Amino acid sequence: MAADDADVLVIGAGFAGLYMLHRLRGLGFSARVLEAADGVGGTWYWNRYPGARCDSESYYYCYSFDPELEQEWRWTERYPRQPEILAYLEHVADRFDLRRDIDFGVRVASAVRDDDGWSVTDTDGRVRRCRWLVTAVGCLSAANVPDLPGLADFTGPWHHTGRWPHDGVDVAGKRVGLVGTGSTGIQAVPVLAEAAAHLSVFQRTANYSIPARNAPVSEAEVAATKADYPEIRRVQRESTNGHPFLVADVDALALSDDERDGVYQRAWDRGGLRFRAAVKDLLSDPAVNETASDFIREKIHETVADPATAEALTPRDHYFATKRPPIDTGYFETYNRSDVSLVDVRADPIASVTPDGLRLASGAEHELDVLVFATGFDALTGPLLSIDVRGRDGVALRDAWAEGPRTHLGLGVAGFPDLFTITGPGSPSVLTNMPTAIEQHVDWIADLLVRLRETGETAEPTRAAEDAWAARVQEAADATLLPQAASSWYLGANVPGKPRVFLPFAGGMNHYRRACDDEAAAGYPGFGLRPRACVSVS
C-alpha cells in the first residue's frame, strides 16, 4: 500500500475546509485540501449572480475562532456582497498561510475505503491516500438545473446562478427569463430588472420575503460590534439558529390585533431574518404562524400595484419560514415596473425550451435572449453523492442512502469508517448561520481525530446510533411546521426522484451542540471506536 499523502484529506476550500485545515495544522496533523475551483471560497466562489449577497449579517457571518481576525477585518455593509465575503475568505487563506496545503483545480471523483484508510481519486485519475477523510463540500453546491427538453437548442446564453460566469453576463438591452423565486431569485430579480430590457420571472411557488434593509455599516457600529464580540459569540452559540439573537418571548396570540401588528411592523422595519424571531412558537404553532404569514401577505398586496400580480405573488400553500425565508431589496416593488412580468408556471408549467425562449404547457411562448435558472440545489446529499464514496466492503454511499441519508449526528455514516462530514445531513447546517455550524463541527471532528491519533482507533458510527439519530431528526422536524411545506428543498422535494426525507436537524443548534458534547464526553459510544482494521459487526 502506498504511503499516505497526508493524515487527513479535506474535500472543499470554503468556510468549512479552510477552518478544518487551520485546526488540523495547529494540532500537528498533515492535511491537504482538494478543491475543484481555482480559488478558495466554496459557495462564495461559485455564486456570483447579480445581487448575490448573504442573508445573515456581516458581523456574525464570519469566523469566531480568532479574536485578532475579528478585530482586524472590517465589513462595509450590513449584508455582505459576494465579492466582499470572497475577499474575506481569501484574506483568511493568506493570513493563515493556508494555500500551500490546498490543491486547486482538483475535482474528487471517488473515495474508496480499505483497512488502512482512504484512496481519493480525482477526475484526472490521480490517487491520493489518507487515514482520515473529511468532506467540506457545502450543503448547497450541487446545482439543480431542470431537465427541460430543448435546453441544448436554446440560441442565447443560459446559466444557473450557482455557476455564474466570472466575467458576468451581459443582459443590457436583452429579454431575460429567470426561473425560480427562492432566496437567489428574489435577490437577483431587482438587479436583473434594472439592467435588462425586459425581465420575465417564471414562478412555480409564491414566496414570502422580508425586506433586508441593507445599509453601510458606520464606524460607530463597527466599533460597538468589535467591543461586544465575546457576548455576540456567546449568544450565537446558545441560540437555536446560530444567530446573535434569541427568539422573543412574545405570545402572539395573547396580543390584541394592534399590538401584534406593532410587533411585526417593528420587525419588518428592522428587516432581515430576525423577523422570524419576533414572536415565540412561530415555527411550531400554526395559529401563531398564520398571524405572521397574514402580515406579510398584506404587505405584498400593499406593495404590488396590480391586484392580480399581487395575488399571484402571495404565498397561500405554505406557512412563513417553513421554506427558508428569503430577504430582499425591492423584490415586490420590482413588479410595479412596466418592463417586468410575472409568469405563473404552477398554473401553466414550463413544457420545453425552444431556440428562442420558453414554451409553456398551454402552448404559450415567451421569447427570451438570456435564460437564468435560479432553481436551487440538490441540497445536502447532492454534493456528497456527486462523489463515488465507497465504504467497507465496497458499499456505495449512493446505495446506503438510496432511501435518504442516514448519519450519526450528521457527522459520520455507518459502514464508512474514518469519514467525517462537516454540516452533513442530519446536522443543523442549513437551518443555522453556517459559519457557526461549521466551527462547531470542525472543532468536534478535530477533538475526535486527536483521540484517534492517540489510541490508533477507527471511528465508524454504529447502526444503533444512526437509527437513534434518525428518529431524533424526524422527531425534531415533526415538532415543527417545517415538513409541511410540500415543495421545500429541506425535504428534497425540489429534485425529481429524490427521497422525501427531512434533511437537517431542526431541534436547534444549542440542543445539537449538547448532543455532540455528550457523545464526546461519553467516549464516543455512537462512533463505535475500535482498533484499526477490526471489522465492525454493529
Least distance from ligand N01 to the Cβ atom of residue 209, Å: 11
179 binds ligand N01, rule: CB under 6 A: yes
350 binds ligand N01, rule: CB under 6 A: yes
DSSP, collapsed to helix, strand or coil, labels residue 216 as: strand
Residue labelled with grid coordinates 406593495: 303
Binding-site string for ligand N01 from residue 315 to residue 344, where x marks contact by CB under 6 A and - marks none: ---------x--------------------
Residues 11-40 that bind ligand N01 (CB under 6 A): none
State the pairing for strand pair 327-328/340-344. unpaired
Backbone φ and ψ for 256, nearest 5 degrees, come out as: -70, 165
Within 10 A of 303 (CB to CB), how many other CB atoms are there?
17
Contact (CB, 8 A) for 188 and 50: yes
Number of residues that bind ligand N01 (CB under 6 A): 26
Radius of gyration of the chain (CA): 23
Question: Within 13 Å, how many C-alpha atoms sit on residue 452's CB side?
Answer: 28
Q: Of the listed pieces 100-108, 202-210, 266-274, 303-311, which binds ligand N01 according to CB under 6 A?
A: 202-210
The residue among 153, 145, 108, 172 whose CA lies nearest residue 419 is: 108
- Our CB check for ligand N01 shows the closer of 50 and 412 to be 50
State the chain's maximal CA–CA distance in angstroms: 72
Q: Which of 58, 141, 181, 458 binds ligand N01 (CB under 6 A)?
A: 181
- Our CB check for ligand N01 shows the closer of 56 and 462 to be 56
Q: Would you state the cell numbers that stand for residue 538, as one nine-digit string?
A: 454493529
Binding-site string for ligand N01 from residue 475 to residue 504, where x marks contact by CB under 6 A and - marks none: ------------x-x----x----------
Q: Of the listed pieces 107-115, 197-205, 437-445, 522-530, which binds ligand N01 according to CB under 6 A?
A: 197-205
430 binds ligand N01, rule: CB under 6 A: yes
Q: Which of 184, 291, 427, 480 binds ligand N01 (CB under 6 A)?
A: 184
- Our CB check for ligand N01 shows the closer of 149 and 525 to be 149
Provide the β-strand partners of residue 202: 179, 343
Provide the β-strand partners of residue 110: 121, 388
433 binds ligand N01, rule: CB under 6 A: no
- Our CB check for ligand N01 shows the closer of 202 and 401 to be 202
- Our CB check for ligand N01 shows the closer of 358 and 459 to be 358
Q: Of the listed pieces 179-187, 272-280, 408-416, 458-466, which binds ligand N01 according to CB under 6 A?
A: 179-187
Q: Of the listed pieces 116-124, 177-185, 303-311, 460-468, which binds ligand N01 according to CB under 6 A?
A: 177-185
Contact (CB, 8 A) for 431 and 504: yes
Q: Of the listed pieces 178-186, 220-228, 497-505, 525-533, which binds ligand N01 according to CB under 6 A?
A: 178-186
Contact (CB, 8 A) for 468 and 461: no
- Our CB check for ligand N01 shows the closer of 9 and 273 to be 273
Least distance from ligand N01 to the Cβ atom of residue 530, Å: 37
- By CB atoms closer than 10 A (0-12, 13-18, 19+), residue 227 is exposed
Least distance from ligand N01 to the Cβ atom of residue 198, Å: 19
d(CA 427, CA 469): 10
55 binds ligand N01, rule: CB under 6 A: yes
d(CA 276, CA 247): 8
Question: Within 13 Å, how many C-alpha atoms sit on residue 402's CB side?
Answer: 4
Least distance from ligand N01 to the Cβ atom of residue 370, Å: 17
Provide the β-strand partners of residue 246: none
- Our CB check for ligand N01 shows the closer of 263 and 374 to be 374
- Our CB check for ligand N01 shows the closer of 128 and 160 to be 160
Binding-site string for ligand N01 from residue 120 to residue 159, where x marks contact by CB under 6 A and - marks none: --------------------x-----x-------------
- Our CB check for ligand N01 shows the closer of 340 and 446 to be 340
d(CA 162, CA 147): 16
Least distance from ligand N01 to the Cβ atom of residue 167, Å: 21
Binding-site string for ligand N01 from residue 360 to residue 379, where x marks contact by CB under 6 A and - marks none: --------------xxxx--
Question: Within 13 Å, how many C-alpha atoms sit on residue 377's CB side?
Answer: 25
State the pairing for strand pair 31-35/198-203. unpaired
- Our CB check for ligand N01 shows the closer of 382 and 412 to be 382
Q: Which of 41, 180, 410, 483 binds ligand N01 (CB under 6 A)?
A: 180
Residue labelled with grid coordinates 484526472: 124
Question: Within 13 Å, how many C-alpha atoms sit on residue 478's CB side?
Answer: 6
Provide the β-strand partners of residue 365: 359
Within 10 A of 338 (CB to CB), how many other CB atoms are there?
6
d(CA 22, CA 33): 11
Q: Would you state the cell numbers that stand for residue 37, as one nine-digit string?
A: 475551483
* Residue 434 amino acid letter: M
Q: Of the listed pieces 99-107, 126-134, 198-206, 259-267, which binds ligand N01 according to CB under 6 A?
A: 198-206
DSSP state of 4: P
Contact (CB, 8 A) for 198 and 341: yes
432 binds ligand N01, rule: CB under 6 A: no
- List of residues contacting ligand N01 (CB under 6 A): 54-55, 140, 146, 179-185, 187, 202, 204-205, 324, 345, 350, 374-377, 430, 487, 489, 494
